[in-house]
Amino acid sequence: MAGKVGAMKKKTWLRAEVGASRAIACLVLLALWQAIALSGLFFQDVVPSIDRVLFAFWSVLADPLFYRNLGVTFGEMLVSLAVGCSTGLAAGLALGGSPFLSRAYEHFLHYLGSAPKIIFFPLMILWFGVGPGSKVGMGVISCFFPVAISVAAGMRAVNPVWIRVGRSFRASPLQMVTKVYLPAMRTPILNGFRLGVGVAIIGVLLAETKLSNQGLGFMVMQSYSRFDMPRMYALLIIVIAMAVAFNTLAMRLAGSKP
C-alpha cells in the first residue's frame, strides 16, 4: 500500500514538473518574441509585439466572418477525415489480410505515401473544381496513406493464436474483422488515425491557401496580402490550436497522454 502511495506521489510530482517545464518554455518563447519585436531587427510589423497580436486575436474572434470561414474549414476537415480514415481502414485491412494484395500493391502505397501531396492539387481542381471539393480531396489523399499503412502493419502483428481461435470457431470474414482483428489492432488503428488527422489538416489548409475564397487558409493569405501581420499571426495561433485539439483527442482515444 505504501509503495502504491509513493508511486502515485512520484507520478503527481512528475506531472507537475512537466507542466512547470512547459509553462517556463512558453514564457521564455513569449519573452524572446517580445524582445525581437522591440529590437527593430526586422521591418515594421514583420514581428509585431505580443499586445498587438492579442488585440488582433480578439478582433478576429469578434468578427462574424471568422466563424463562417471556420465552419467551412471545419466541415472540410470532418469530411476529409471521415472519407480518408474509412477508405484507409478498408485498404489496410485488405492489404494486411491478403499476402497476394500486399506483395502486389503495398510497395506502391509506400511510394505514393511519401510523395508530397500538393502535387495532386491540380488533379483535385480538375476533378472537383475550385470549391470545397478540391480541398476535401486534398485532405482525403493526405489522410488515406498513413491510415492504410498503419492498419496493414497492425494486421500482420496480430497474435496468430487469436486468428487460429477465430477460425476454429468457423468465424466469417466479417466476424474475424470485427471480433479478432479490430480489437487487437486498436492502438495501431488509432495511431494511424492520429497521423491521418495531422496530415489531413495540413492538406485542407494548404489547399485553401493556394486557391480558395473561403476558409481559414484563405483568411491567412488574405491577411498576408494586406500585410496585416498581427491578424495573420492571430489566425495562425487559432489554426495551431485546432490542430493541437484534434491531435490531443486522437491521442486520448489511442490511450496515450500528450
**How many CA within 13 A on the CB side of residue 170?**
0
Q: What is the pLDDT of residue 4?
A: 60
Q: Which residues of 213-236 are buried (b: 16+ CB within 10 A; e: fewer)?
A: ebbbbbbbbbbeeeebbbbbbbbe
Q: What is the pLDDT of residue 156?
A: 81
Give me the pLDDT at residue 6, please. Answer: 58
Q: What is the mean pLDDT of each run of 10 residues along the chain (258 residues)?
A: 59 72 83 80 77 89 90 90 90 84 83 83 86 88 90 82 77 77 79 84 86 86 87 89 78 59
Gap between the Cα atoms of 238 and 129, Å rounded: 27
pLDDT at 1: 54
Instruction: Give me the residue spans of the domains in the chain.
Output: 2-41, 53-254
Full-model pTM: 0.77
Q: Report the pLDDT value the prediction gives residue 7, as an integer from 0 to 100.
A: 59
SS3 for the chain, per residue? CHHHHHHHHHHHHHHHHHHHHHHHHHHHHHHHHHHHHHHCCCCCCCCCCHHHHHHHHHHHHCCHHHHHHHHHHHHHHHHHHHHHHHHHHHHHHHHHHCHHHHHHHHHHHHHHHCCCHHHHHHHHHHHHCCCHHHHHHHHHHHHHHHHHHHHHHHHHCCCHHHHHHHHHCCCCHHHHHHHHHHHHCHHHHHHHHHHHHHHHHHHHHHHHHHCCCCCHHHHHHHHHHCCCHHHHHHHHHHHHHHHHHHHHHHHHHHCCCC
Fold observed for domain 53-254: MetI-like fold (1.10.3720)
The pLDDT, as a whole number, for residue 47 is 81
Q: Which of 191, 211, 209 lies closest to 201, judged by CA?
A: 209
- Give the model's pLDDT for residue 9: 64
Q: Which of 200, 101, 82 is CA-nearest to residue 141? A: 200
Provide the pLDDT for residue 87: 92
Angle, vertex CA 116, rays to CA 113 and CA 118, nearest 5: 125
pLDDT at residue 8, rounded to an integer: 65
pLDDT at position 83 is 92
